[in-house]
């Protein structure tokens, strides 16, 4: 990719740099070939540091609370006892092909998987680096870009474990693969992350590789206990082979005190279809980068998102879709609901290479503001170098529609319930796109939990 963001010098994060050498010494023996990758990544992070708001890509996203908090790498913590219990709430169990639980980035449990089709690999990345070294080596850290991506660089420097999924040519995995990433510092009453205490940081890494004409669904859940303060910095690399189909989803419902910086880097081959959902239900700061490169003809891509913020939460999504070849179609559909003093940010960049004729790129971002103090920054960025393309973008920021509200009230529905119903409907437009009913149900229930009089609405669903 050819874009470069002008970066202003940011302070390196000395506490993290200090831990790198010790970490590398411990990890080196496991995978020698990774050492130069780590070295390069940490150097990139050292150059870039934690972005300040002088970076164009972070203009509305103040990461100072991360910069000023002292973090300690997850692998130096003793695994807290509560992880299994936190994960249990998020399990789909038999509905999935395989379900894995990661605690602070390390594999703790694998359930199911016995009935996977031949050749399919679903296991922890740490294990895969040992047992399927060549396969992992071929793709790991090959997709993720480290330019203008300090968080991805940091994750790469600290690669240790995470999810590995490989589906060989022509194989279909019917049920979803589900990974539950629990972050838990074992301190349930942590309070504000930047209060001076040292906090846990975790860098889970996911690698998903689909061979030609393979099909799968891979869902990632990020969760924690309420009130815990930590930083999770996951990176997911995705390789969608020619004519393959992948539905990927990230569901994030972590503590209101937590920081979450997530990256998804995906490449797609000819005639493939890839969809990636981001459901972000708000921690203190959420920043998600979704970068997608369409590297063949006849590709279809969907990037869908729903973010819901309350209190003083910040939820930022940056998407980047690169059309390199002709005749591809990408569709982005992101919706945000912001209450209290929450801030939503959406920045959608579409880059169309000069040979990518007949590109059809569509971008939609709709925001619903529930209070006068909530706000949204939304920005499309189109860079189009081909002349025969169709690129559309539309962004809206609005309140609950007064006419709809009145209509509902004239049918006897009280104001609070009517508002909740309209908010639910607004969110529902994204939720209903997910193909897996138990996930839809989970999202719906979460909405009902959050909405005033939600219990009343819950009963209407059937």
Which of residues 213 and 420 has its CB atom nearest to other proteins in the complex? 420
Contact between 421 and other proteins by CB under 8 A: the answer reads: yes
Closest to 439 in 3D by CA, of 10, 99, 63:
99
Distance in Å, CB of 423 to other proteins, minimum? 10
Which of residues 383 and 401 has its CB atom nearest to other proteins in the complex? 401
Distance in Å, CB of 176 to other proteins, minimum? 25
Distance in Å, CB of 315 to other proteins, minimum? 21
The tokens 């209509």 sit on which residue? 407
CA atoms within 13 A on the CB side of 151: 30
Contact between 456 and other proteins by CB under 8 A: the answer reads: yes
Which of residues 297 and 441 has its CB atom nearest to other proteins in the complex? 441
Distance in Å, CB of 450 to other proteins, minimum? 17
Q: Exactly one of 221, 252, 330, 417 binds other proteins (CB under 8 A); which one?
A: 417
Q: Exactly one of 412, 433, 434, 437 binds other proteins (CB under 8 A); which one?
A: 412
Q: What gap in Å lies between CA 300 and CA 247, rounded to an integer?
A: 12
Distance in Å, CB of 431 to other proteins, minimum? 10
Contact between 409 and other proteins by CB under 8 A: the answer reads: yes
Using the rule CB under 8 A, give the single segment among 182-190, 297-305, 368-376, 420-428 that binds other proteins.
420-428
Q: What gap in Å lies between CA 125 and CA 89, rounded to an integer?
A: 24
Closest to 368 in 3D by CA, of 332, 393, 404:
404
Q: Two tokens at 33?
A: 């070939």
Work out the number of other CB atoms within 10 angstroms of the CB of residue 332.
Answer: 24
Which of residues 21 and 429 has its CB atom nearest to other proteins in the complex? 429
Q: Exactly one of 404, 438, 440, 441 binds other proteins (CB under 8 A); which one?
A: 404
- Of residues 273-312, those binding other proteins (CB under 8 A): none
Contact between 414 and other proteins by CB under 8 A: the answer reads: yes
Using the rule CB under 8 A, give the single segment among 109-117, 246-254, 257-265, 409-417 that binds other proteins.
409-417
Distance in Å, CB of 337 to other proteins, minimum? 13
Distance in Å, CB of 254 to other proteins, minimum? 27
Which of residues 67 and 422 has its CB atom nearest to other proteins in the complex? 422
Is the Cα torsion angle 30, 36, 41, 43 positive or negative in sign? Answer: positive
Which of residues 9 and 425 has its CB atom nearest to other proteins in the complex? 425
Q: Exactly one of 418, 434, 446, 451 binds other proteins (CB under 8 A); which one?
A: 418
Work out the number of other CB atoms within 10 angstroms of the CB of residue 94.
Answer: 9
Answer whether 334's CB lies under 8 Å from 361's CB.
Answer: no
Contact between 400 and other proteins by CB under 8 A: the answer reads: no
DSSP string, 246-257: EEEEEEEE--TT
- Of residues 424-443, those binding other proteins (CB under 8 A): 424-426, 428-429
- Of residues 132-191, those binding other proteins (CB under 8 A): none
Nearest-5° angle of CA 167, CA 173, CA 176? 110
Q: Exactly one of 395, 408, 438, 458 binds other proteins (CB under 8 A); which one?
A: 408
Contact between 407 and other proteins by CB under 8 A: the answer reads: yes
- Of residues 338-377, those binding other proteins (CB under 8 A): none
Answer whether 1's CB lies under 8 Å from 293's CB.
Answer: yes
Rg (CA), the chain: 21
Using the rule CB under 8 A, give the single segment among 143-151, 220-228, 269-277, 453-461 that binds other proteins.
453-461
- Of residues 212-271, those binding other proteins (CB under 8 A): none
How many residues belong to the site for other proteins (CB under 8 A)?
Answer: 26
CA dihedral 83, 89, 94, 99 (to 10 degrees): -40
Distance in Å, CB of 460 to other proteins, minimum? 5
Q: Two tokens at 257?
A: 């005190």
Contact between 457 and other proteins by CB under 8 A: the answer reads: yes
The contact mask relative to other proteins for 25-54 (x = CB under 8 A, - = no) is ------------------------------
425-430 — which CB contacts under 8 Å span 24+ positions? 426/335, 426/337, 426/366, 426/368, 427/306, 427/308, 427/335, 427/337, 429/335, 430/277, 430/279, 430/304, 430/305, 430/306, 430/333, 430/335
Burial 356-373 (b: 16+ CB within 10 A, else e): beebebbbbbbbbbbeee
Q: What gap in Å lies between CA 232 and CA 287, rounded to an integer?
A: 11
Distance in Å, CB of 444 to other proteins, minimum? 12
Q: What gap in Å lies between CA 232 and CA 213, rounded to an integer?
A: 33
Residue 292 to residues 36, 239, 276, 346: CA-CA distances in angstroms? 25, 10, 10, 16
Using the rule CB under 8 A, give the single segment among 284-292, 359-367, 383-391, 410-418 that binds other proteins.
410-418
For binding to other proteins (CB under 8 A), which residues are involved?
Answer: 403-404, 406-415, 417-418, 421-422, 424-426, 428-429, 456-457, 460-462
């Amino acid at each position: 990719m050819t874009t470069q963001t002008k970066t202003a010098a940011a302070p390196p994060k000395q506490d993290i740099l200090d831990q790198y050498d010790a970490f590398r010494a411990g990890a080196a023996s496991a995978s020698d070939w990774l050492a130069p990758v780590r070295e390069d990544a940490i150097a990139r992070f050292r150059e870039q540091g934690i972005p300040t708001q002088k970076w164009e890509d972070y203009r509305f996203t103040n990461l100072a609370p991360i910069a000023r908090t002292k973090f300690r790498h997850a692998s130096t913590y003793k695994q807290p006892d509560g992880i299994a219990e936190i994960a249990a709430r998020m399990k789909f169990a038999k509905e999935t092909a395989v379900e894995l639980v990661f605690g602070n980035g390390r594999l703790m449990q694998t359930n199911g998987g016995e009935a996977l089709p031949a050749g399919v690999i679903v296991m922890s990345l740490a294990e895969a680096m040992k047992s399927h070294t060549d396969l992992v080596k071929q793709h790991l850290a090959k997709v993720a870009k480290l330019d203008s991506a300090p968080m991805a660089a940091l994750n790469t420097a600290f690669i240790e474990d995470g999810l590995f999924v490989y589906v060989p040519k022509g194989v279909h995995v019917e049920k979803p693969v589900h990974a539950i990433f629990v972050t838990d510092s074992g301190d349930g009453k942590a309070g504000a992350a930047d209060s001076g205490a040292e906090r846990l940081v975790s860098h889970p890494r996911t690698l998903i590789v689909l061979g030609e004409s393979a099909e799968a669904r891979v869902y990632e859940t990020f969760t924690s206990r309420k009130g815990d303060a930590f930083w999770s910095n996951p990176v997911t690399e995705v390789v969608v082979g020619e004519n393959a189909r992948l539905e990927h989803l990230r569901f994030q419902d972590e503590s209101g005190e937590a920081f979450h910086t997530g990256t998804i880097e995906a490449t797609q081959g000819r005639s493939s279809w890839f969809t990636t959902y981001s459901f972000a239900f708000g921690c203190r700061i959420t920043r998600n980068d979704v970068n997608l490169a369409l590297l063949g003809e006849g590709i279809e891509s969907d990037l869908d998102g729903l973010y819901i913020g309350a209190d003083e939460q910040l939820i930022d999504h940056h998407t980047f879709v690169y059309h390199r070849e002709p005749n591809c179609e990408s569709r982005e559909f992101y919706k945000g609901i912001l209450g209290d003093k929450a801030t939503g940010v959406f920045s959608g960049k579409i880059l169309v290479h000069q040979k990518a004729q007949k590109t059809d790129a569509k971008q939609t971002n709709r925001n619903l503001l529930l209070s006068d103090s909530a706000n949204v920054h939304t920005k499309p960025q189109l860079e189009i170098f081909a002349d025969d393309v169709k690129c559309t973008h539309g962004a809206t920021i609005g309140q609950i529609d007064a006419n709809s509200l009145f209509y509902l009230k004239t049918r006897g529905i009280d104001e609070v319930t009517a508002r909740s119903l309209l908010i639910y409907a607004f969110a529902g437009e994204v939720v209903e796109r997910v193909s897996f009913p138990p996930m839809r149900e989970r999202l719906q229930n979460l909405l009902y939990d959050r909405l005033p009089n939600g219990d009343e609405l819950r009963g209407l669903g059937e």
